[in-house]
Structure 1
Amino acid sequence: MRKQIVIVGAGFAGMWAALSAARLADKHQQAIDITVIAPQPELRVRPRFYEKDVQTLVAPLQPLFDVTGVKFLPGTVEQILPGCKQISWKEASGETHQCRYDRLILASGSQINRGSVAGAAEYAFDLDRLESAVRLEQHLKSLSDQAESEARNTVVVCGGGFTGIEMALELPGRLREILGHDAKTRVVVVERGAEPGGRWSKALREVIGEASAELGVEWLVNAEVESVNASGVTLKDGRTLASQTVIWTVGVQANGLTTQIDAPRDRQGRLHVTTELQVVGHPEIYATGDVAYAATDDKGNHALMTCQHAILLGKFAGNNAAASLLDIAPLPYRQEMYVTCLDLGAWGAVYTEGWDQQVKLTREEAKKLKMSIVSELIYPPKAEKAVAFEIADPLAPFV
């Protein structure tokens, strides 16, 4: 019976896991069935969901899967049964199927958790999924149809992480386009830390502060959200912010499928993995992307929930899952180089290198690099087998 690798998810990690596994099987001329299960055969470019025209930020995957011999099944995995090496998945029609595996690669991603704050799930927008990002964009466009008011003109971004910053600094320009250059708009970031970008290097914090000041983005630091309603936000210290547009960017958690595997998880629900990306205690299951708590080096650093790490994690997971079926030595995952490239709206961008975030480029120079990364580097390769397999090699050059 042919060996089966099943991959849950078609995001950055899932897509590259499939291509990497197919590459190794092809290289050794071994027949392994590689199947990806996801709602649709497309890569949704989530790191760009703060931009406008968000519905265009997808890339088709079916042609790429066809030329590389990867099978795609449209559906959603609902249950993992490690004891019998099976999963259960459901089609959009509601029909349920079972599928066996010899190796399972969990690449099901992450999602925003808003359950701890009253009203956040009902009244706050987010950039978590394409559908929700589209709803936010439609809402922003509709503001011009509303009577002018403080609430209409004010956007509150909850959370000052990278997603919150990119969204917040994009908004002044976007609001001017929608409401007119004379509109008295206000963008406020609610951050529980003591200063903007407080978890990062001093040099990066200074750039974020400079860009925010120049664009007029306000920061409320040492602040936490108590509740959200149709009128705006109430903070834990009693202050209120009138707003028709509250955007939630905090509380990211690994997909809930991780709880179905009896293995250690970190506080974000990510599964602890070995250097080969096997789930601890489950050598036949590989975790990758946002569901993997994986060491990037021997210095105590771990992969973050970013496409930068998901891409390479996917390549190593796919390679190693196939290698284990081909009796080939696996490749230990390593990603010692860490960079950030943060879009700062009309101000430009900032590019840093290293875990200590040394600022290397700012403003237009960094913006050009940012656009190159998000519009070229992170997109799928051409639907050509040789090209795809060359890039899918875990040891091929990558940032």
Structure 2
Amino acid sequence: MPSPRVVIIGGGHVGLTLALRLQKKLDAGEARVTVIDTQPHMTYQPFLPEAAAGSLEPRHVVVPLREALKRCEVLTAQVSTIDHARRCLTVTLGDGKVEQLGYDILVPVPGSISRALPIPGLAEEGVGFKTIGEAIYLRNHVLSRLDIAASTEDERLRRRLLTFLFIGGGYAGIEALAELQSMARYAIRSYPQLSEHDMRWVLVEAMGRIMPEVSPPMGEYTRQQLEDLGIEVKLNTTANSLVDGRVELSDGDVFDADTIVWTAGVKPHPMLEDSDLPRDAKGRLECTTRLQVKGTDNVFSAGDCAAVQDLTSSDPEALTSPSAQHAVRQAKLLADNIIAQLRGEPLQEYRHKHAGSVAGLGLFRGAAEVYGIKLKGLPAWLLHRAYHLMKMPTASRKARILGDWLLELPFHRQVVALGELHDPRAEFVKAANTRGLPKPRGTTAAG
């Protein structure tokens, strides 16, 4: 009799943590584990700001799935449909071939994507901050703005080039903004034509406070820290238009910006829309406290795309927050519950009180609130690094990241833009076309 097949859709933080635990705890031949993702690696998103700022080598914040999951089958493919009634997935493989894939136990954990709003110009001018590609692009883009600004005498163009707008005051936006601004302040020292005061960094947040994940006093402390760094923080403000980089805000402020970063929330992966699994009003899979999708006994989920009741809250309607802290802990319990189900043992409920939050605010600056204890400045920054280093999967990546940090002590950040990474064939195409230009009329092949 063939072993039961466990299919995990998504190789992100939840998917990788789950698969690592399954391959460690399952007996040989007890189950066949398949991980499906469009990317061959997992990106540890809390380290994206440091990768963008040059503190970490981008390759070190991703974990190759095949390298980590030796006992699992890894498919680089796109799941387009979940037909749970038939226990079947529609999968498009890397070569374009479409196949039907069966399963005994299904774990859809595709995570989330940026939640964009219908703001004019956002799709054309904005960039998100959820992938390693976006982080590298923003690093190159910000540094290239300094290069161009230093070489132009057009004051209006210079102001536009050196204006950086971030929309969204949650953790992702705050850390990305703080790290990139820290990098730019260091890099601009190499441009005698420019100074820190030429740059304008603006954070726009629709709510009346930033970082809702922490207490109001810590959120206010973080706002003050950003403003001390010269960052404008606009609360209770929204963007009305971003057409052609012309920023129009709800507070009446109008200016030009050549860099617009969108970090205003996420939504469940749209792949879940084409399934027959129950979802809530926000598109998340409705799950029990045992992390089973409601109405099923062999479909589980966790992380950003799962709506799970928070048993530590007095409010019966409260759900666990979409944080990395819950995602990792849910993934571990999820692995244990899948193993328990395979072995006919009882499943456990997920119960974890949020321990707190840590955030990096640029080099040597941070804010943290853990179990009610508030830390600021250097201690918070060190705790931020230590916590995420501990949570980074695999010893290999931990060692590489620690090595990057240690090298940063005697040496400075590398602040060079490699914009050609985004169009590596441009120079070759130009060179190839120089021999293929149309010849003037009247010439011959020999002439």
TM-score strictly above 0.5: yes
**1:121-200 correspondence to structure 2 within 5 Å:** 121-147=123-149, 149-180=158-189, 182-183=195-196, 184-197=198-211, 200=214
Aligned to 2:58: 55
| Residue correspondence of structure 1 range 232-311 to structure 2 within 5 A | 232-299=246-313, 300=315, 301-311=318-328
1:74 aligned residue (50, 73, 76): 76
Structure 1 residue 30 displacement after superposition: 5.3
Distance 2:185 2:395 in 1: 37
Structure 1 residue 197: deviation in Å? Answer: 4.0
Q: 1:361 to 1:146 in 2, by over 3 A?
A: same
1:13 Cα deviation after fit: 0.3
Q: Which residue type is aligned with residue 302 of structure 1?
A: L
C-alpha distance in 2 between matches for 1:78 and 1:264: 17
TM-score by structure 2 length?
Answer: 0.78
Deviation, 1:85, is 0.5
State the 1:293 CA deviation.
Answer: 1.2
Matches of 2:304 and 2:235 in 1, distance apart? 28
CA separation of 1:233 and 1:250: change in aligned 2, threshold 3 A: same
- State the distance in 2 between where 1:77 and 1:30 align: 26
The one-letter amino acid paired with 1:16 is T
Structure 1 338/264 Cα, relative in aligned 2: closer, same or farther at 3 Å? farther
Q: Counterpart in 2 of 1:312?
A: 329
Indicate whether 1:39 and 2:38 are aligned.
yes
Secondary structure of the 1:89 match is: strand
Q: Distance in 1 between matches of 2:216 and 2:354?
A: 20
1:8 Cα deviation from its structure 2 partner: 0.5
Aligned-partner residue type, residue 66 of structure 2: Q
1:83 alignment partner, SS class: helix
Question: How far is 1:75 from its partner?
Answer: 1.3
CA distance in 1, matches of 2:29, 2:319: 33
Aligned match of 2:391? 378
Match of 1:390 in 2: none
The letter for the 2-side match of 1:131 is G
CA distance in 1, matches of 2:220, 2:120: 33
**Cα distance, 1:227 vs structure 2:** 2.2
1:212–1:359 CA distance, 2 compared to 1 (3 A): farther
Percent identity among equivalent residues?
Answer: 26
Q: Considering only aligned residues, what root-mean-square deviation do their CA atoms show, in Å?
A: 2.2
Q: Tell me if structure 2 keeps the 8 A contact 1:215–1:347.
A: no
CA-CA distance at 1:200 after TM superposition: 4.3
Match 2:69 to one of 65, 71, 86: 65
CA distance 1:209–1:237, change in 2 (3 Å): closer
Unmatched tracts of structure 1, length 5 or more: 384-399
Q: Which residue of 1 aligns with 2:119?
A: 117
| SS of equivalent to 1:80 | strand
**Whole-Å separation in 1 of the counterparts to 2:340 and 2:86:** 21
Higher mean C-alpha displacement, 279-288 vs 199-208: 199-208
- The 8 Å contact of residues 9 and 79 in structure 2, kept in 1 or not, is answered as yes
Please state whether the residue corresponding to 1:156 is helix, strand or coil.
Answer: strand
Distance 1:325 1:318 in 2: 11
Check if 1:99 corresponds to 2:101.
yes
- Report SS of the residue matched to 1:282: coil
Aligned equivalent of 2:361: 344
Q: 1:125 to 1:345 in 2, by over 3 A?
A: same
Higher strand share: 1
Residues 353-390 of structure 1 show CA distances to partners (whole Å, capped at 9, x for unaligned) of 24xxx34211111111111122x22211348xxxxxxx
SS at match of 1:173: helix
**1:21 partner amino acid:** L
Provide the rounded CA distance (Å) in 2 between the counterparts of 1:274 and 1:43: 26
Judging changes above 3 Å, is the alpha-carbon distance between structure 1 residues 337 and 239 closer, same or farther for their aligned structure 2 residues? closer
- Please give the secondary structure, in 2, of the residue aligned with 1:330: coil
* Counterparts in 2 of 1:296 and 1:364: CA distance versus 1, 3 Å: same
The alpha-carbon distance between structure 1 residues 133 and 268, as it changes in their structure 2 partners (threshold 3 A), is: farther
Partner SS for 2:116? coil
Distance 1:381 1:48 in 2: 15
SS in 1 for 2:298: strand
Provide Cα deviations, 1:292-320, integer angstroms capped at 9, x if missing partner.
11124241453222221111111122222
Aligned pair 1:206/2:220, yes or no? yes
Shift of the 255–127 alpha-carbon distance from structure 1 to 2, 3 Å rule, reads same
- Tell me which residue corresponds to 2:4: 3
Q: 1:215 corresponds to which letter in structure 2?
A: L
CA distance in 2, matches of 1:347, 1:143: 25
Q: What's the offset of the Cα at 1:4?
A: 0.6
Residue 81 of structure 1: CA displacement?
0.9
Letter in 2 for 1:65: L
C-alpha displacement of 1:347: 5.8
**Between Structure 1 and Structure 2, whose CA radius of gyration is higher?**
2
Name the CA shift for 1:282/1:81 in 2 (closer, same or farther; >3 Å). same
Distance in 1 between the 2:73 and 2:215 partners? 44
Deviation at 1:82, TM superposition (A): 0.7
TM-score computed with the length of structure 1 as normaliser: 0.87
How far apart, CA to CA, are the structure 2 residues paired with 1:87 and 1:119?
36
